[in-house]
Amino acid sequence: MSQYIWRKRIINVKFRKANLDDLNRISKIDELFSKNTMGKCFLENEIRNSDISTIYLLENKNDLIGFLIIRINDMKAEIVNFVIDLKFQNKGFGSKLLSNVIKDLKIKSVKSIKLDVRKKNIIARNLYEKKGFERLGINKSYYLDDDALIYIRYL
């Protein structure tokens, strides 16, 4: 548990792994703020397939601040989705969630973290670059309306 200033008050923030009881709250944020939502069934499968997938959460009491989905294959991790609820954005929570995930993956001896991000998504690209991710390549027209940049961070 750590403390943050949010809207001029101190809030307690908890980092943990999601379980099926969190599904509705995760799905709500996913549908509202994720450009590539894969739906509730997808999220449920990610929680159930805990041998390859983990949904990490940041929360304040009953408020879900955000979530980050990681899949691991052959000790290499991939960020499948990463969303911070709008009212908590741009206050350091995305950075905090990603740092905690990196710590957990290091403990598991994971070797690298890879991800795709829209070229136009400057906020996310700034965050990844600040956290030490390097550009690995580009997937032209990967999205209907944009290219995808591929980033990697070795742990």
Ligand X SMILES: CC(C)(COP(=O)(O)OP(=O)(O)OC[C@H]1O[C@@H](n2cnc3c(N)ncnc32)[C@H](O)[C@@H]1OP(=O)(O)O)[C@@H](O)C(=O)NCCC(=O)NCCS
Binding site for ligand X (CB under 6 A): 33-34, 82-84, 89-95, 115, 117, 121-124, 126-127, 130
- Residue whose C-alpha is closest to residue 123's, from 83, 87, 78: 83
Beta carbon nearer to ligand X, 104 or 143: 143
First to last CA, the chain: 24
Beta carbon nearer to ligand X, 124 or 150: 124
Q: Which two tokens stand for residue 57?
A: 């959460």
Determine the residue type at 37. Answer: T
Beta carbon nearer to ligand X, 95 or 139: 95
Q: Provide the minimum distance between the beta carbon of 99 and ligand X in the complex, in angstroms, as a whole number.
A: 9
Q: Provide the minimum distance between the beta carbon of 116 and ligand X in the complex, in angstroms, as a whole number.
A: 7
Q: Provide the minimum distance between the beta carbon of 36 and ligand X in the complex, in angstroms, as a whole number.
A: 8
Q: Provide the minimum distance between the beta carbon of 92 and ligand X in the complex, in angstroms, as a whole number.
A: 5
Residue showing the smallest CB distance to ligand X in the complex? 94
Contact residues for 29 (Cβ-Cβ < 8 A; gap 6+)? 64, 66, 67, 83, 85
Beta carbon nearer to ligand X, 47 or 69: 69
Beta carbon nearer to ligand X, 51 or 118: 118
Tally: H helices and E strands in the chain: 4, 8
- Strand 146-154 to 112-118 pairing: antiparallel
Q: Provide the minimum distance between the beta carbon of 144 and ligand X in the complex, in angstroms, as a whole number.
A: 16
Q: Which two tokens stand for residue 102?
A: 């990196």
Q: Residue 69, Cα to own-chain centre: how many angstroms?
A: 5
Q: Which two tokens stand for residue 5?
A: 């200033």
